[in-house]
């Protein structure tokens, strides 16, 4: 392979966003299914199932693979926790979309989904990737996305994720974090029913967690004067903290000690795997 391997953590975005669009249409009283999205859904699921590598009946991501926490050597990295959880979620939701169209699930995609490698656990916490003795506490805390940005799934244990969040909040090197990392932590805290931690980390005073008068999120001064993942992360985190998820508590990321929040037009997130 020439150059660096792909950062595949974005591949399931197509399925996730089409699920969000469907929920919006249903809330607006419109038909939930859009046939023009079928090709994008099926092609995405085909790539995801083809990319996974089978060893002894278990499907792995990499090596090589570029994890969202990009400080690991992509030539040797395998099974990043966030990507494993998102793969499982995306393939399940893609299968449900096919069923809604009156079609059977794709056999290859189902085979991969049912036998994905489990996330690696060290010291009672989720590791960022497999094969590393310790998780680096710098750059993106991407393993937290496996239960926060990504809904609950059988592959991720809430108690283990709670321990992972506590460790990250205590040990992360904040000056190394990027603009979307603070919303990521807030989303996981909201899923863990810790509204105080969600607000605290979303608003944390850190070098790369600041927004200027134009709404930009500069990361390296004039070298990177705007950083749209930060803006997108804030929007995603606030919507989860306020609108919550299907069947979940009201305002799950908002403390109950005097906060008054009004909102409209926000669509609840999926509560679990396959919802969308």
Along the chain (276 residues), what's the average pLDDT of each consecutive run of 10 residues? 74 95 89 81 97 97 94 94 97 96 97 98 97 92 98 95 99 97 99 98 97 96 93 98 96 96 94 78
Q: What is the pLDDT of residue 2?
A: 56
Residue in this structure with the two tokens 């930060």, named with its chain if needed: 230
DSSP codes, 80-117: -HHHHHHHHHHHHHHHHHHHHTT-PPPHHHHHHHHTBP
- Closest to 129 (Cα-Cα) out of 68, 52, 180, 182: 68
Token pair of 1 as six digits: 């392979």
Q: Give Cα 112 to chain centroid, integer Å.
A: 19
66-85 per-position pLDDT tens digit: 999 999 999 999 999 999 99
What residues does each domain of the chain span? 8-243
Distance CA 120, CA 117 (A): 9
As a CATH number, domain 8-243 is 1.50.10.10
Q: How far apart are CA 28 and CA 245, in angstroms?
A: 17
Q: Full-prediction pTM beyond 0.85?
A: yes
Distance CA 263, CA 248 (A): 16
């Amino acid at each position: 392979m020439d150059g660096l391997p792909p950062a595949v953590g974005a591949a399931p975005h197509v399925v996730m966003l089409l699920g969000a669009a469907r929920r919006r249409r249903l809330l607006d009283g419109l038909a939930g299914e859009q046939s023009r999205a079928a090709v994008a859904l099926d092609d995405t699921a085909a790539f995801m199932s083809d990319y996974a590598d089978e060893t002894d009946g278990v499907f792995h991501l990499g090596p090589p693979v570029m994890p969202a926490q990009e400080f690991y050597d992509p030539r040797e990295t395998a099974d990043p926790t966030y990507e494993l959880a998102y793969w499982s979620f995306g393939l399940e939701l893609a299968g449900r979309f096919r069923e809604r169209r009156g079609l059977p699930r794709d056999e290859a995609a189902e085979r991969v989904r049912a036998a994905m490698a489990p996330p690696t656990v060290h010291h009672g916490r989720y590791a960022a990737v497999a094969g590393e003795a310790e998780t680096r506490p710098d750059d993106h805390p991407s393993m937290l996305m496996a239960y926060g940005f990504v809904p609950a799934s059988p592959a991720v244990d809430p108690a283990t994720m709670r321990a992972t969040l506590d460790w990250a909040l205590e040990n992360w090197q904040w000056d190394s974090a990027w603009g979307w990392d603070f919303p990521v932590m807030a989303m996981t805290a909201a899923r863990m029913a810790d509204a105080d931690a969600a607000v605290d980390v979303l608003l944390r005073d850190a070098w790369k967690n600041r927004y200027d008068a134009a709404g930009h999120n500069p990361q390296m001064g004039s070298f990177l004067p705007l950083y749209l993942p930060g803006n997108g992360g804030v929007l995603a985190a606030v919507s989860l903290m306020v609108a919550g998820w299907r069947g979940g508590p009201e305002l799950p990321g908002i403390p109950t000690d005097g906060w008054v929040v009004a909102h409209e037009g926000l669509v609840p997130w999926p509560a679990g795997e396959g919802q969308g």
